[in-house]
Amino acid sequence: MKIFSKEQIYEGDALTAKKQGITSTELMERAGTQIFNWLHLRMQGAQVPIHVFCGIGNNGGDGLVVARHLITHGYNVKTYIVNYSKTRSKDFLINYERIKGTTKDWPILLNDAKELPEIDEKDIIVDAIFGIGLNRPIVTWVKQLFNHFRATKAFVLSIDVPSGLETDAVPKDEECVVNAGYTLSFQTPKLVFFLPETAKYTVQWEVLDIGIDPEYLFTTPTEADLIGKNEVLPIYKPREKYSHKGHFGHALVIGGSYGKIGAVTLASRGVLTIGAGKVTAYMPKCGYIPLQSSFPEAMVISDVNDEKITKIDFNITPDAVAFGVGAGTDAKTISAFEAFLKTNTKPLVIDADGINILAKKKALLKSLPENTVLTPHPKELEGLIGKWTDDFDKLKKTKALSKKYKCIVVIKGANTITVYGDKLYVNATGNPSLATAGTGDVLTGMITGLIAQGYDALAATIFGVYLHGKSADLLVEELGYQSFIASHVIEGIPLAYLDLFKQPEPPQVEEAGEEEN
């Protein structure tokens, strides 16, 4: 699914109205009706008090449409206008007149924090105060209103975005943003739903289709894409009946040091379980017996040194190479890696200490083959790009790194983001169970195993990150967050593959149709 910028959303709105011969008021009616339907389906007429807070722009206009439909359907509604500006949008005014024609209970004008409405914990707040049009800091009394929402502990449903959250910046003051329990966003998720510093403003989100022109949606390139099942299915390569292991490539995993042999074992298991034909682990001698006995499917070549890698020397021809897991950053290991880079022509995936070595010796970045995959966690990323001021600055600096060295950078986190040039691929799978030792090593193996099978590096990265998260999503239901360990990611890979072809379950409840008033 594409993630559009706010400029692209405004453009799509205008184009849709023109192509479909509708007014912007009709588009707002569609948007507001969708929100109403969503609520109506879940509330089924329940008389829980619903407080609809509307701004003075089009987000507020959406709120007025919702309030009007709720009123005409007999709900217990209180509508407020948060009067933060003297200007009003045209469609706000049209809907303001319409709601006045529907009820004697006219919207209450809020001008300051002196008379904040009483809201019970069991009530519902609909937040239609600011949408994507927010463009400057909010005034103090509106911040007080947001704090009042928090204090009531009532459930907050935000329309389009939690009010106060800009679509392209990290808030300077957390209290100036509404904390939404749920956000219903029009047509496209917003990038801020996925960044560590801004995702927290909504517990959950959902996209509502408001019928924006399909051609516009299909043909407009976006800075970011959300990667779910629909996006990875076209990447998947089915197997031919008469294929053999030679067709699926040979991956080499170089890494490990005394006490960190498990990292190479996990990565090697990741390589084979994701479907590569063969895997060879290159590691210090101390790893020879443990790896051969714990994972007999792997072949092992050992370094001359017992405890660390000192010379990368092998007589096989791998299709893809992973370097770095558990490798340490000893001077001899750095020299060995440096020498290896001088002659290597094979696709590379670099993780963990491999990235720490690159951070120490930035000149080595120039020796990486084109489309090398780097998979840093935040601390390792900082070594490569320096400190960032906020998540948007982090993305900007990572894009610059990717462009300069023509590499693919995987920013690992709650929503892992793969950066390639100016493009962002935001992964939709995964959960907090993955925050445990060794899951990164498995990911390195998975991406390397996909490249060895013939996937191009970018496709392998996007697909590998997706399957890695999906494996955890499927297994955590049985194992729980706390007991999940890196080996479980490997065990879940077959389920993640099979899940690609599962038909979606039929909906439990029938969707309510669009209603006029």
Contact set with ligand LZDS7PUF (CB under 6 A): 9, 13, 27-28, 31, 55, 57-62, 84-85, 87, 89, 130-138, 159-160, 186-187, 210, 212
Q: Does 163 bind K ion (CB under 5 A)?
A: yes
Kindly determine how many residues on this chain lie close enough to bind K ion according to the rule CB under 5 A.
4
d(CA 295, CA 288): 11
Measured from the Cβ of residue 130, the count of other Cβ atoms closer than 10 Å reads: 28
User: What's the half-sphere exposure (Cβ side, CA atoms, 13 Å) at 228?
Assistant: 7
Give the CA radius of gyration of the chain. Answer: 27
Query: CA-based angle 216:222:227, to the nearest 5?
Result: 105
State yes or no: 136 annotated in a binding site. Answer: yes
Contacted entry of ligand LZDS7PUF, K ion, none for residue 62, CB cut-off 5 to 8 Å set by kind = ligand LZDS7PUF
Residue 61 is labelled as binding a ligand: yes
Across 257-314, the runs of DSSP E, i.e. the strands, are 278-283, 299-302
Name all contacts of 229-233 with Cβ < 8 Å and 24+ positions apart: 229/499, 229/500, 230/1, 231/1, 231/462, 231/466, 232/462, 232/463, 232/466, 232/467, 232/500, 233/500
- To the question of whether residue 467 is assigned a binding role by annotation, the answer is no
Q: Is 353 annotated as a binding residue?
A: no
Amino acid at 337: F
Taking CB positions, which residue lies at the least distance from K ion? 163
What is the smallest separation between the CB atom of 473 and ligand LZDS7PUF, expressed in angstroms?
A: 29
456 annotated to a ligand binding site: no
Q: Whole-number minimum distance, CB 260 to ligand LZDS7PUF, in Å?
A: 49
Min dist CB 479 to K ion, Å, is 37
Distance CA 43, CA 39 (A): 6
- Partner interacting with residue 158 (select from ligand LZDS7PUF, K ion, none; CB below 5-8 Å by kind): K ion
Q: How far is the CB of 62 from ligand LZDS7PUF (least distance, A)?
A: 5
CA atoms of 167 and 189, how far apart (whole Å) = 10
Find out whether 390 is annotated in a ligand binding site. Answer: no
Any contact of residue 185 with K ion (CB under 5 A)?
no
Nearer to K ion, 205 or 463 (CB): 205
- 497 CB neighbour count, 10 Å cutoff: 16
Q: Is 101 annotated as a binding residue?
A: no
Binding residue (CB under 5 A) for K ion from 1, 67, 134, 159? 159
Which regions of 20-160 does DSSP assign to beta strands (E)?
50-54, 77-82, 108-110, 124-128, 155-159
> Residue 17 CB, nearest distance to K ion (Å)?
21
Give the separation between CA 208 and CA 288, rounded to whole angstroms. Answer: 55
Binding-site positions for K(+) read 59, 127, 163
Interacting residue ranges for K ion, rule: CB under 5 A: 127, 158-159, 163
Binding-site positions read 58-62, 127, 131-137, 160, 163, 263, 326, 377, 412-416, 440-441
